[in-house]
A and B are shown apart, each in its own frame.
Chain A
Amino acid sequence: MEYTKQEFMAVTTGREIKDSELIIFGVGLPMLAGYFAKLNHAPNLRAFTEGGIYGSTPVGGLPWGIECNRISTNATSFTNAIDALGFLVLSGRADNAVIGAAQVDKYGNVNTTGIWDEPPWKAGKYLAPRVRLNGSGGASDISVGCKHYLIMASHEKRRFMEKVDYISSAGYLDGGDRRERCGFVGGGPSAIISTLGILRPDPQTKEFYLDAYFPFTTIDKVKENTGWNLKVSQDVKIVPEPTAEELKNLRTVDTTGFLRKNG
């Protein structure tokens, strides 16, 4: 079966999504993974975007943005950010979400804001970054509000870090019960799905460990590409390859081949 790593990651993310969940997707890859799930096995998924677009599915390929016309052609309701990010996310009502990450650390904290030579937590001051990224958008709201959420990230050492440069969206912070003590209504990230496998948080320490890896890689390769000393589950699994049916459904959503172009 021919597929790209990005496609495998999208299918794997989609499998984590259950039917009927009230769910919100970030822009780009998360949206494809999410709408794949809706088409493939979760027809009653109640998906919405952070600007308040309800009841719609993408038409004509990956939407260029969460308010793109490609996601606005078959909506049942258009509302606003107070409604979507406030009433449904920050309130604690949404079940699940999918967000992306430029950097993610061992406690599932996500950076999408910037890259520094000396990050603020190390420098003790906040200077202009070497590279400016996008900021958190709605992902920070998702990280504190949704019952749980999924993180998608390209599995590279420079992205899977001991400690991210900047926490844009809080995961489990320093681990343990640190997040609980913050009083967030949402439960935190339930998995990181990468281009190499699935990481899940330890119930006590909240440190992410390798739960399953893709058949084209090895445990050693995953560890090599991780910036912290990655623990491996005692019953670590191999993620089943995408089936023909899953790939067909994914490519129906990804009409323009976004996931094939990017390897």
Chain B
Amino acid sequence: MQNKLMSIQEAVTTYTWDGMTYCNGAALPVGSCSIAFGKEMVKQGRKDLNVICHCGSQQINLLAAVGAVKRIEVGFSGLEVYGFAAGLNRAVVSGKTLIEDYSNGAMALRFFGGAMNWPFVPATVCIHNDQQWCSADHPDEYPCTRKIPEVTDPFTGKKYGAFRTIRPDVAAIHVTMADIYGNAIMLGTEWNRFEMSRASDKVVLVADQIVHTDCMRQYPNLVRIISEVVDAVVYWPYAAWPQSSPGLYDSDEDHMFYMNKMMKTEADTKEFCDQWVNSWNSHEEYMALIGKEKIEKISQTGTAFLMDPYRKWLRTDANIRELQDRKKG
């Protein structure tokens, strides 16, 4: 097996490009999401992205706020109890970002179909409503018949909606822990990460922790993302901040509200990026920016016990650095 550890800068340089179809796994508005990876994409100036996710998150909020998202297919674009996603909504209302709405269930099925390499999946959701009739790709057609065309069940004659399946170029998937080869365990709901990891052409894991492969051998049933489909592993503790990572940290309530408020205008977004996105390179600088006090606070999570079985397999920072350096040669 190949050591796939890679710096966040190198992973973004290697696996993202302008105009690509990008999945921000897990894309949970409050929980797991590869947010640090998205910030690095902003730093490297990625643009014209075609984003696909069941839910938006602060990552998509930010990418849209800086004008990097040309088009998005989504089931839910908000930040749940933290409010509407101000940056994404500004981009949608101004016409800068085209938004194609589906249901969360339909997005899950579309990833599943992509993983199966099927051309389409049939379903009874998102039909006979505006998710079928409204298409941002065909705005002049209402009701639109091309987004979710009708298909007939050859056995019963019943009508269903045909959903285009999803084969993204790259998915940057946040996981609780991975080994250096790309086997990963996710604590908390996995949403679409299992299907997404099989549907995407390239997969980058953004892991809060790196564990020894013996951990995977102890709990093979829990290893839902496998090294066989993973291209790179980025070690980045608190990668989902200000969102949460079950077992490791809670969402940062103050920063969730603050960040979203700053996404409301272009000027505030720029100020936010200067302070919180463009101001770090190393992980030490990233942690210093969040601050020791905040790190301590969000780490006092009621879910911490979920990590107990895995603690003995955790690799140390020094050990991970050594493995990363050794790989570089």
Hey, which bits of chain A sit against chain B, CB under 8 A? 27-28, 49-53, 59-60, 62-70, 72-73, 78-82, 85-86, 89-90, 109, 113, 120-121, 123-141, 144-145, 166-170, 173, 182-185, 258
Partner of B105, one of A72, A86, A129, A167: A86
Majority-rule SS of B interface residues: loop
Assess whether A130 is in contact with B93, with CB atoms less than 8 Å apart.
yes
Give residues 193-240 of B contacting A (CB, 8 Å).
193-195
User: Chain A residues with Cβ under 8 A from B139's Cβ?
Assistant: 125-127
Q: Known contacts A137-B55, A140-B105, A185-B124: does B191 contact A67 (CB below 8 Å)?
A: yes
Kindly state the separation between the CA atoms of A99 and B89 in the bound complex, as whole angstroms: 22
Assess whether A135 is in contact with B78, with CB atoms less than 8 Å apart.
yes
14 A–B contacts, CB within 8 A, in A order: A51-B190, A69-B302, A72-B246, A80-B191, A82-B109, A86-B109, A90-B123, A121-B130, A123-B142, A126-B139, A131-B93, A132-B99, A137-B55, A258-B81
Assess whether B78 is in contact with A133, with CB atoms less than 8 Å apart.
yes
CB distance from B124 to the nearest CB of A (A): 6
What residue of chain B has the Cβ atom nearest to residue A60's Cβ?
Answer: B302
The A-B contact count (CB < 8 A) is: 219
Assess whether B251 is in contact with A128, with CB atoms less than 8 Å apart.
no
User: Chain B residues with Cβ under 8 A from A135's Cβ?
Assistant: 74-78, 99, 101
What residue of chain B has the Cβ atom nearest to residue A54's Cβ?
Answer: B189
Q: How large is the interface on B (under 10, 10 to 19, 20 to 34, 35 or more residues)?
A: 35 or more
CB distance from B208 to the nearest CB of A (A): 14
Assess whether A144 is in contact with B125, with CB atoms less than 8 Å apart.
yes
Assess whether A168 is in contact with B144, with CB atoms less than 8 Å apart.
no
Kindly state the separation between the CA atoms of A136 and B253 in the bound complex, as whole angstroms: 24
The reply to whether the CB of B38 lies closer than 8 angstroms to some CB of chain A is no
Assess whether B95 is in contact with A113, with CB atoms less than 8 Å apart.
no
What residue of chain A has the Cβ atom nearest to residue B256's Cβ?
Answer: A64
The reply to whether the CB of B52 lies closer than 8 angstroms to some CB of chain A is no
Assess whether B77 is in contact with A132, with CB atoms less than 8 Å apart.
yes
